[in-house]
Amino acid sequence: MWFNLGGSLVRFNMEDFCLISGVRCFGVEKRSKYDACYCRIKHEFLSELRNISTSEVSDFFLKNYQLSDSDVVKFGCLFLLTNVMFTTSYKRSVEDSLMVLVDSNEMNAYRWRNELLN
């Protein structure tokens, strides 16, 4: 994985990236189990949007100052995942299962390695 850090390109293998970032390489494997689950942050904060794009996650995260500390962390993680880690398209739709996973207590145990390599 290549990253632009301060104008310099830095390369990490997956094990280094997981160690440095704290991203888990072991844990729950399939995000599909979150497909039909209720997502509180989506219904409470983004219910007026039918399909939520990565740009809308970015706008919401960067412009909302009235969130609880817990919700700031959740939207910060969602922002990082949708706008930094999975950056195929800025207008790409955010999958409900990703929002549910971020909103759940299982986010830190999820095996992100498989997602990042696809």
Q: Decide if 11 is inside a domain.
A: no
pTM of structure: 0.74
Q: Decide if 113 is inside a domain.
A: yes
Q: Decide if 47 is inside a domain.
A: yes
Whether residue 67 contacts residue 78, with contact meaning beta carbons closer than 8 Å, is answered with no
Q: Decide if 9 is inside a domain.
A: no
Q: Decide if 72 is inside a domain.
A: yes
Report the pLDDT value the prediction gives residue 30, as an integer from 0 to 100: 75
Q: Decide if 10 is inside a domain.
A: no
Q: Decide if 17 is inside a domain.
A: no
Max intra-chain CA distance, the chain: 42
Question: How many domains, the chain?
Answer: 1
Q: Decide if 5 is inside a domain.
A: no
| DSSP labels, 9-59 | EEE--HHHHHHHH---SSSB--GGGGTTS--HHHHHHSTT-SS-BHHHHHH
Q: What is the DSSP letter of 63?
A: H
Residue ranges making up the domain that contains 102:
24-117
Residue 29 pLDDT exceeds 60: yes
Please write the tens of the pLDDT for every residue from 58-81. 899 988 878 999 999 999 989 988
Please write the tens of the pLDDT for every residue from 31-61. 778 888 899 999 999 988 888 988 899 899 9
Residue 19 pLDDT exceeds 60: yes
